[in-house]
Structure 1
Amino acid sequence: MSKSGQRLKDEGSRLQVVIAGGTAGLISRFVVAPLDVVKIRLQLQSHSLSDPRTHLDLRGSPIYKGTIGTFRHIVANEGVTALWKGNVPAELMYVAYASVQFTTYRSTTQLLRALSGDYSRRLPQSVESFVAGAAAGAAATAATYPLDLLRTRFAAQGNDRVYASLRRAVSDIARDEGVPGFFRGLTPALAQIVPFMGLFFAVYEGARLPLGRVEALPWGTGDATAGVIASVVAKTGVFPLDLVRKRIQVQGPTRNRYVHKNIPEYAGTVSTIRRILKQEGARGLYRGLTVSLLKAAPASAVTMWTYERTLNFLVGKAER
């Protein structure tokens, strides 16, 4: 790592950054796939567990209670492999997302520094990291959104499969919903990702170097620990928008065919939030938060640790 400690921002060629980002996304996704499926199932559960009228409107939908209970229910009723439903489009998404994210982050940082001119006129590091992180998140989200939607729909399938294969899913959505069908929920996704990635990179850059000087850390590295802290802080702040995105992603002609057959019909972001607040209360906007945070920690730790090591390896190999 350079003396300035800015490996993430300005070291390595564009190709090396793309390879490192893609590798980090690929490995991270496989590790956290089961947690992701559990999170999506909980987020799509619109019925209240405390409402005695719930059982009148289940329509065969399962009732998930907590992270562990959801794990057990899925494994018992659908098998262990069900914990990796949607993993193919998710792997493609994570690789593409990470590549676009890190490339855009690096390019945006360099652009901001070029526009500011000499060092004395540069933006504060926290502001620079926020702007670059937000731009990176927005670009990566928009570029990979159709894969995110496909991931959600496959993870939402029960034993009665809605889509037989990834190719069939693409074909059916294109035929029945058109191009806009692949971008359902993009508005809350962008509204979520901009503050999330901005906060993530701002906290990450602020914590990485100080933590790098601490010897006794749970993961043995400041990069991974900083990634965990940054992810937990950012994820909690924007979680309601993530839930709204998932609810909107499964709208359309197949809405009543997923494992939760009683998913309400939602339209825009604001109206969805209002309806959830009215029918499920404020807690309804945070369904799946616990497992989301459990997922965020290892996902970010693995992503940032793998990214830093892969980039170090690629740069070192190129210098030999």
Structure 2
Amino acid sequence: MVHVSSDDGKGKKGTRRMIIDATAGAIAGCVARVITGPLDVIKIRFQVQLEPIMGAPIDPGKRSKYTGFGQAMTTIVREEGLQGLWRGTVPGLLLTVPYTAVQFVALQQVRQAAAAYGLTANPGSAPLISLASGALAGAAATVASYPFDLLRTTLAAQGEPQVYRNMWDAARGIVSQRGPMGLYSGLGVTLMEIMPYAALQFGLYDALNAMVNEARLRHQRDMADAAKAAAAGPRGANPISRHHQPRQHESSSAPCEVSTRYPDPSASSSSSLSVLQASRLQAFACGLLAGLLAKLATHPLDVAKKRYQVAGLQRSLRYGARVEAGFVMRSLCQSLAYIYRTEGLMGLWKGSVPSIVKAAPSAAITFAAYDAVLAWLLVMSGEQQKQLQQQQNGKQPQSK
């Protein structure tokens, strides 16, 4: 029999937790990707459209094809069918699986490393750790999944007639035109975009959750103080109140003991369901707001990234002017300045409406689904078996 040391046990436990984090992240990302796919296609169409949307010239040859969110959706459905709203879904899912899996694993690993080095001992450093861990997790996930991001953008932007039939055709075409490194075209600007976005998204998510938890604890303390004051107020003033006081105190102070001796499954499940629903709602709301603010702040970088990715794509001219291949030769600052000079300030926020409409629910769905799937996987793997057993025995789980 092979003896397994405690260090090996810790290593296996850590590996198992990494697999669980990766699985939960991948499932959550796929759910969000399928639901918000049409919003992503509309966003990309706006971002690669060179003609100004606001104040476009009267010349029909330079009029923008897409002028608004609703108009863009109806135009795509009319010209390309309902499936046109899900262009690039396959590479999008292939992008999502490694991206979200690596992102959540890297996030947990960075946070564990920060705790191991004592960086979390100071409460004031919590926001910085959240920002740094989010940025590093976003960068690692981007490098691991970037070719799928490029292919997703190319297929979603091409319109009709199709330049590439499918993902593999697009990959072969890009490699033949630009070489293997063409699949990483725009990676630098993508990292410059995703790091502040991921930092803001995870940092704001943690900050918003902390604010909600603090407000809930404050409310619970206020309710407890009010209950104590109400119970202490009439004491001694009325004999009947004093006679009934012990029974009231016994009833209110020992619910756990009574429920342990005489368990009420309906009451227990109802209470657990209420707590679970509140937790899911909090994750959804905090993820929604965090995704919205992060995406709005970093949207100009996303516009520039999409231009790098489709530079040289020979799509039909009925979609407007093409992004010339020489666009990739500009630096990020030069690209942003060029967009501002030729398309105005609103050009830097092209597609911001579908982007925000997509980013907010996408982040909310991802965080909520991740929390739900992670909790289920931890229970199924036995990670929470001891805690559940302690709760069933009426004991509080010990904090590690």
Q: What amino acid is aligned across from residue 198 of structure 2 in structure 1?
A: M
> Equivalent residue of 1:124, what SS?
helix
> Equivalent residue of 2:45, what SS?
helix
Residues 1:70 and 2:75 are matched in the alignment = no
The 2-side partners of 1:187 and 1:295 are apart by: 24
Contact kept, 8 Å, 1:158 with 1:258, in 2: the verdict is no
Q: Provide the residue aligned with 1:205 in structure 2.
A: 206
Contact kept, 8 Å, 1:209 with 1:222, in 2: the verdict is no
The 2-side partners of 1:78 and 1:97 are apart by: 29
Contact kept, 8 Å, 1:219 with 1:225, in 2: the verdict is no
User: 1:9-60 CA distances to partner (integer Å, 9 max, x unpaired)?
Assistant: x9971110011000001101000000000000111111124232653346xx
Determine which of 380, 385, 393 is the counterpart of 1:317. 380
Gap change, CA 1:207 and 1:64, over 3 Å in 2: same
Q: Provide the residue aligned with 1:89 in structure 2.
A: 91
Q: Provide the residue aligned with 2:350 in structure 1.
A: 287
Contact kept, 8 Å, 2:26 with 2:101, in 1: the verdict is yes
What residue ranges of structure 1 are gaps of 5+ in the alignment? 1-9
Q: Provide the residue aligned with 1:7 in structure 2.
A: none
Range with greater deviation from structure 2 (218-227 or 146-155) = 218-227
Q: Provide the residue aligned with 1:98 in structure 2.
A: 100
TM-superposed deviation, 1:167: 1.4
Gap change, CA 1:202 and 1:159, over 3 Å in 2: same
TM-superposed deviation, 1:251: 0.9
Residues 1:246 and 2:247 are matched in the alignment = no
Q: Provide the residue aligned with 1:6 in structure 2.
A: none
> Equivalent residue of 1:63, what SS?
coil
The 1-side partners of 2:204 and 2:118 are apart by: 22
Q: What amino acid is aligned across from residue 318 of structure 1 in structure 2?
A: S
Runs of 4+ in structure 1 deviating by more than 6 angstroms, as ranges, are 217-220
User: 1:166-219 CA distances to partner (integer Å, 9 max, x unpaired)?
Assistant: 11111121122112211121122111111111111111011124436499x999
The 2-side partners of 1:257 and 1:65 are apart by: 18
Q: Provide the residue aligned with 1:235 in structure 2.
A: 295
Q: Provide the residue aligned with 1:157 in structure 2.
A: 158
> What's the TM-score, normalizing by structure 1?
0.89
1:1-320 correspondence to structure 2 within 5 Å: 13-49=17-53, 50-52=55-57, 54-57=59-62, 63-116=65-118, 120=121, 124-211=125-212, 213=216, 221-252=281-312, 254-257=313-316, 260-265=319-324, 266-267=327-328, 268=330, 269-319=332-382, 320=385
TM-superposed deviation, 1:315: 0.6
Identity of counterpart residues, as a percentage?
32
Gap change, CA 1:307 and 1:259, over 3 Å in 2: farther
Gap change, CA 1:47 and 1:229, over 3 Å in 2: same
> Equivalent residue of 2:377, what SS?
helix
Q: Provide the residue aligned with 2:9 in structure 1.
A: none
The structure number with the bigger radius of gyration is 2
The 1-side partners of 2:184 and 2:196 are apart by: 20
The 1-side partners of 2:195 and 2:122 are apart by: 25
The 1-side partners of 2:352 and 2:75 are apart by: 18
What residue ranges of structure 2 are gaps of 5+ in the alignment? 1-13, 220-273, 386-400
Gap change, CA 1:11 and 1:202, over 3 Å in 2: farther
Gap change, CA 1:259 and 1:134, over 3 Å in 2: farther
The 1-side partners of 2:148 and 2:79 are apart by: 26
The 2-side partners of 1:259 and 1:242 are apart by: 24
The 1-side partners of 2:21 and 2:151 are apart by: 26
Q: CA RMSD in A?
A: 2.5
Gap change, CA 1:24 and 1:46, over 3 Å in 2: same
Contact kept, 8 Å, 2:280 with 2:372, in 1: the verdict is no
Contact kept, 8 Å, 2:151 with 2:170, in 1: the verdict is yes
Q: Provide the residue aligned with 2:389 in structure 1.
A: none
Contact kept, 8 Å, 2:99 with 2:145, in 1: the verdict is yes
Contact kept, 8 Å, 2:102 with 2:140, in 1: the verdict is yes
